[in-house]
Amino acid sequence: MSPAPTAHVESVDFVMLYIVAISVILLIGITVTMIYFVFKFNRKKGHQPVDIHGNLLLEVVWIVIPTLLVLSMFYFGYTSYREYRIKPDNPLVVDVTARMWQFTFKYGNGKMTDTLYVPVNTAIDLEMKSMDVNHCLYIPAFRIKEDIIYGQTHHLYFTPKEVGDYDIACAEYCGLNHAKMYTKVKVINDDQFTKWYGGNWQPVKTEIPKE
Amino acid sequence: MANGTIAMTDLPVPKAEKSFFEQSTNKHSGILSWLLTTDHKRIGLMYMFGIISFFLVGAIIGLLMRLELLSPGGKIFSAQTYNSLFTLHGVIMIFLFIIPGIPAIFGNFFLPIQIGARDVAFPRLNLLSWYVYIVGAILALTSLFLPGGPIDTGWTFYIPYSVRSGSNVSLAIFAAFILGFSSILTGINFVTTTHRLRAPGMSFFKMPLFVWATYATAWIQIIATPVIAITILLVIIERAFGVGIFDPALGGDPVLYQHMFWIYSHPAVYIMILPAMGVVSEIIPTFARRTIFGYKQIAYSSLAIAFIGYLVWGHHMFSSGQSDTSNWIFSLLTFLVALPSGVKIFNWVATMYKGSIDPQPPFLWVMSFIVLFSIGGLTGLVLGALATDIHLTDTYFVVAHFHYVMFGGTGTIFIAAFHYWFPKMFGKMYNLKFAKIAVVTYFIGFNMLYFPKFIMGYLGMPRRYYDYLPMYTPYQRISTYGSWILVSTLFFIVGYFIHAYFRGKKATSNPWGGVTLEWHIPSPPPVENFKVIPVITHDPYDFSQLKEMKDE
Ligand code: HEM
Ligand SMILES: [Cu+2]
Ligand SMILES: [Cu+2]
């Protein structure tokens, strides 16, 4: 596996792993218990069924433990989400225009492209608007997306820490060629970016915590 | 004596007693005796024909979509065709199959019988609601063939696209509007029937859990459906007269639309699942031959789900720029509303403990349900958590999740209910060996079809795409192969039921050893259900009656 392209990816994958691990345990527990009962209490064995109407202790246990589990899932999901929603200080702002069926990126110096170029280790703020219907800018490798509701301005923040090309897709159905709204975000070195940008873009370094 | 007087009146079933198939409730015979009937059982069967036909049509459309996705490149259909296909598939499956499904067929047929009534409270209203369903369905079909072409907005009809689309949006959503009324009328009928027509001795806590579930569902149908009706009317007004309600270009608010849509459509998820849960609570005790574990807990949790279910609609909108505060509140509530459903699963499994289990086909279908529905519910937790939802919403992960819940949950139980009640409804028994084979191929096909979608979703495959990046090809392949197994199984099932209807062995009045009231009367039941209204003395799942019933 290549290293996570943003810090947020690690935290989303942790939440995913946490919930899926608990889920797999529960699923196996339920399935195995059920199959075991079907064999153990099979009619062929001929024991008398026992009417058990309930068991207070058991019922309290199986409501309290799942409650605690889901609260912890909620908590991890929320904290990871919070940190992703915080607007970074001095980000590089890129204007994004979504239209049927294309994204356009516009930089501070007026440069326009249909592929998103960003410098590595710099906080990015995508300021997104739509020209027609709702779209949604989705970067699967970064585990983030935000709808672009027509008539509103939406923001998406991320700080790439690995150089590379990553897919951008549209994730809100927008008509005929919704499936073709793919483009890329190209994360490149400062030097390359300066050259591509054709001038000073005032890099603002954010501290990337070491893992 | 089982359940008071009933055993006595039921005792010597005279050969001459006519079933509801043979005796018309009006002066007509032949087709008019059906089209003008007020018998809840006949109406249930008329719904059955409509609903199963649409289910099969929807399934074939699903099959076609999967065919397109067999390999990348969009080779079979145009993008426009694919977009209409998934919209039609969604609309048919939701509005014509899964929402009416269990209540309209099995609720109509068995709710009155299970509470010891001769019919629903408003038999003519019941017939009307069937006609409203048919009119809605015809309108939906008409919209396919008028100029403009089939609707292509997705079943969620999101604004502004649904105002801009040139396809027949207005007529198609008007059809959904009409179908809503059918749902409301059925709801009113069931609530009234449950309150007014219970047999003497049948207190609320002596009602079978299927009645509880259908009753709770009926409330949601009455309370939530008007919201979608209003929303649809507003969209039609917006499209027809250019009044700015939802479209920002006219000064409207598209997020308002999303709120209104989900204020109905989230509770609608419970309209889909609660009746299925009710059926499960019938089948497990019958085949385990012991009482249900935690009767009251299950009954109350149906009501709890019905009412708390109104408060979580915002979890469909985590990525739509809703405030962070709304997001965390909706996320928290979503986790809490998941609990009663989870607890029901524990109750069902606990009901197998110390039972005397005879795993006949209906029970096997329920076992398959428990696994598939658990997967659906547990992956719902992944989507309830904010960080993961942002990544996975509007991807195949969601597509997999809701098929596991709606199809693996409700759809599986829809099939289970037929296996359970078919002998009662038609007086014939189907081939049990075929049914056991079908459970297995269904389970395999289902997981092949949908499990790869979880993985694709996590890898970033968005939904509603007619084409995809080559990296997804292996998963898409498996999924398409699964659809072949699954859909053939569906036709196999329909086939052996039709065969059973014409050629099957005669079924006895109680082939599984059930004790709720429908098993006390002949198969198929007579028009009046009960000659004398029974007096209820037993709890619903009291199998000590079984001995007395055998002597009946
Ligand atoms: C019988 C086999 C079925 C197959 C092969 C199938 C397949 C599919 C496929 C391929 C999609 C489109 C995914 C996408 O491109 O985003 C889809 C969407 C959908 N399916 Fe199914 N499905 C089946 C049964 C069902 C059932 C039983 C239900 C409901 C109870 C259902 C409800 C839906 C809904 C609501 C959508 C979303 C439509 C939309 O995006 O607007 N499907 N299905
Ligand atoms: Cu799009
Ligand atoms: Cu919902």
Query: DSSP code of B394?
Result: T
Q: Which residues of B217-239 are buried (b: 16+ CB within 10 A; e: fewer)?
A: bbbbbbbbbebbbebbebbbebb
Task: Tell whether B498 is within 8 A of chain A (Cβ).
Answer: no
CB B422 within 8 Å of CB B497: yes
Query: What is the sign, positive or negative, of the torsion defined by CA atoms of B409, B410, B416, B421?
Result: positive
ipTM value for the complex:
0.93
Residues 6+ apart with CB under 8 A from B320: A147, A149, B255, B258
Report the alpha-carbon distance of residue B113 to residue B351 in Å, rounded: 24
What is the Å distance from ligand 1's center to B384 Cα? 21
Query: Residue B321 is part of which domain span?
Result: 41-551
Percentage of chain A beyond pLDDT 70 is 95
Counting atoms of ligand 1 from 1, which one is nearest the CA of B69? 10
Q: Is the predicted pLDDT of residue B11 greater than 60, yes or no? A: no
Contacts of B542 in chain A (CB under 8 A): 51
Counting atoms of ligand 1 from 1, which one is nearest the CA of B93? 29
Residue of the CA atom closest to atom 28 of ligand 1: B93
* Residue to mutate (ligand 1; options B56, B407, B480; most atoms within 8 A of CB): B407
pLDDT of B550: 65
For A43, which of B161, B294, B356 is closest by C-beta distance? Answer: B356
Residues 6+ apart with CB under 8 A from A180: A101, B79, B467
For A41, which of B357, B381, B391 is closest by C-beta distance? Answer: B357
Q: Is the predicted pLDDT of residue A184 greater than 50, yes or no? A: yes
The encoded tokens of residue B258 equal 């999303």
Residue B458's pLDDT band, with cuts at 50, 70 and 90, is: very high
Residue B3 belongs to some domain of the structure = no
CB contact (8 A) between residue B458 and residue A132: no
The 10s digit of each residue's pLDDT in A9-40 is 999 999 999 999 999 999 999 999 999 999 99
Whether B376 lines ligand 1, by a CB cut-off of 6 Å, is no
Omega cis (within 30) before A101: yes
More confident residue, B10 or B183: B183
CB B343 within 8 Å of CB B289: no
Q: Which residues of B444-455 are buried (b: 16+ CB within 10 A; e: fewer)?
A: ebbbbbbbbbbb
Residue B10's pLDDT band, with cuts at 50, 70 and 90, is: very low
Mean pLDDT of chain B: 91
Residue B310's pLDDT band, with cuts at 50, 70 and 90, is: confident
Residue A211's pLDDT band, with cuts at 50, 70 and 90, is: very low
Average the pLDDT over B187-211 and give the result.
94
Task: Tell whether B149 is within 8 A of chain A (Cβ).
Answer: no
Residue B551's pLDDT band, with cuts at 50, 70 and 90, is: low
What is the Å distance from ligand 2's center to A188 Cα? 27
Task: Tell whether B493 is within 8 A of chain A (Cβ).
Answer: no
What amino acid is encoded at B307 in this protein?
F
More confident residue, B548 or B342: B342
The 10s digit of each residue's pLDDT in B125-177 is 999 999 999 999 999 989 888 888 888 899 988 888 888 888 888 898 999 99
Report the alpha-carbon distance of residue B333 to residue A190 in Å, rounded: 44
User: Using CB atoms and an 8 Å cut-off, which of residues 283-322 of chain B contact chain A?
Assistant: 288-291, 293-297, 319-321
pLDDT of B545: 87
Domains contained in chain A, CATH given: 7-83 (1.10.287), 92-197 (2.60.40.420)
Whether B486 lines ligand 1, by a CB cut-off of 6 Å, is yes
Whether B93 lines ligand 1, by a CB cut-off of 6 Å, is yes
The 10s digit of each residue's pLDDT in B225-273 is 999 999 999 998 988 888 888 888 888 888 999 999 999 899 899 989 9
For B358, which of A37, A43, A71 is closest by C-beta distance? Answer: A43
Query: In chain A, what is the straight-line distance between the N-terminal and C-terminal CA atoms, in Å?
Result: 16
Which residues share a beta bridge with B357?
A42
Q: Which helix (H) or strand (E) holds A139?
A: strand A135-139
| Rounded alpha-carbon distances, angstroms, from residue B82 to B150, B159, B192 | 11, 20, 43
Q: Which residue of B has its CA nearest to A86?
A: B324
The 10s digit of each residue's pLDDT in A82-129 is 999 999 888 999 999 999 999 999 998 888 999 999 999 999 999 999
What is the Å distance from ligand 3's center to A92 Cα? 36
Q: Which residue has the tokens 């299927």?
A: B210
Q: How many domains does chain B have?
A: 1
Q: Is the predicted pLDDT of residue B72 greater than 80, yes or no? A: yes
Nearest to B95 by CA among B219, B180, B169, B217: B180
Residue B175 belongs to some domain of the structure = yes
Report the alpha-carbon distance of residue B225 to residue B185 in Å, rounded: 11
Whether B268 lines ligand 1, by a CB cut-off of 6 Å, is no
Residues 6+ apart with CB under 8 A from B52: B494
pLDDT of B9: 43
Q: What angle do CA B176, B178, B180 make, to 5 degrees?
A: 70
Task: Tell whether A72 is within 8 A of chain B (Cβ).
Answer: no
DSSP, residue by residue, A78-119: HHHHHHHHSPPSSPEEEEEEEETTEEEEE-TTS-EESSEEEE
In this structure, the dihedral spanned by the alpha carbons of residues A27, A33, A38 and A39, taken in order and rounded to 10 degrees, is 120
Average the pLDDT over B504-523 and give the result.
92
Q: Is the predicted pLDDT of residue B6 greater than 50, yes or no? A: no
CB contact (8 A) between residue B349 and residue A19: no
Residue B498 belongs to some domain of the structure = yes
What is the Å distance from ligand 3's center to B265 Cα? 7
Query: Residue B470: which CATH number?
Result: 1.20.210.10
Nearest to B282 by CA among B171, B366, B353: B366
> Does pTM surpass 0.90?
yes
Residue B8 belongs to some domain of the structure = no
CB A92 within 8 Å of CB A161: no
| Rounded alpha-carbon distances, angstroms, from residue B373 to A31, B28, B280, B421 | 11, 44, 12, 21
Q: Is the predicted pLDDT of residue A209 greater than 90, yes or no? A: no
Within chain B, what is the greatest distance between any pair of CA atoms? 74
What is the Å distance from ligand 2's center to A173 Cα? 4
The encoded tokens of residue A117 equal 């170029």
Q: Which of A10, A17, A74 to mutate to test the interface with B (most CBs of B within 10 A)?
A: A74
Query: In chain B, what is the straight-line distance between the N-terminal and C-terminal CA atoms, in Å?
Result: 8
Residue B242 belongs to some domain of the structure = yes
pLDDT of B145: 86
pLDDT of B76: 87
Strands A144-148 and A112-113: unpaired
As a three-state string, the secondary structure of B67-132 is HHCCCCCCCCCCHHHHHHHHHHHHHHHHHHHHCCHHHHHHHHHHHHHHCCCCCCCCHHHHHHHHHH
Residue B138 belongs to some domain of the structure = yes
Q: What angle do CA B124, B127, B133 make, to 5 degrees?
A: 145
pLDDT of A203: 53
The 10s digit of each residue's pLDDT in B357-397 is 999 999 999 999 999 999 999 999 999 999 999 999 999 99
Within chain A, what is the greatest distance between any pair of CA atoms? 85
Whether B315 lines ligand 1, by a CB cut-off of 6 Å, is no
pLDDT of A108: 87
Report the alpha-carbon distance of residue A24 to residue B357 in Å, rounded: 26
Whether B89 lines ligand 1, by a CB cut-off of 6 Å, is yes
Which residues share a beta bridge with A116?
A185
CB B394 within 8 Å of CB A136: yes
Average the pLDDT over A194-203 and give the result.
81
CB B188 within 8 Å of CB B239: no
CB contact (8 A) between residue B359 and residue A26: no
Report the alpha-carbon distance of residue A53 to residue B205 in Å, rounded: 13
Counting atoms of ligand 1 from 1, which one is nearest the CA of B483? 5
Whether B399 lines ligand 1, by a CB cut-off of 6 Å, is yes
What is the Å distance from ligand 1's center to B90 Cα? 6
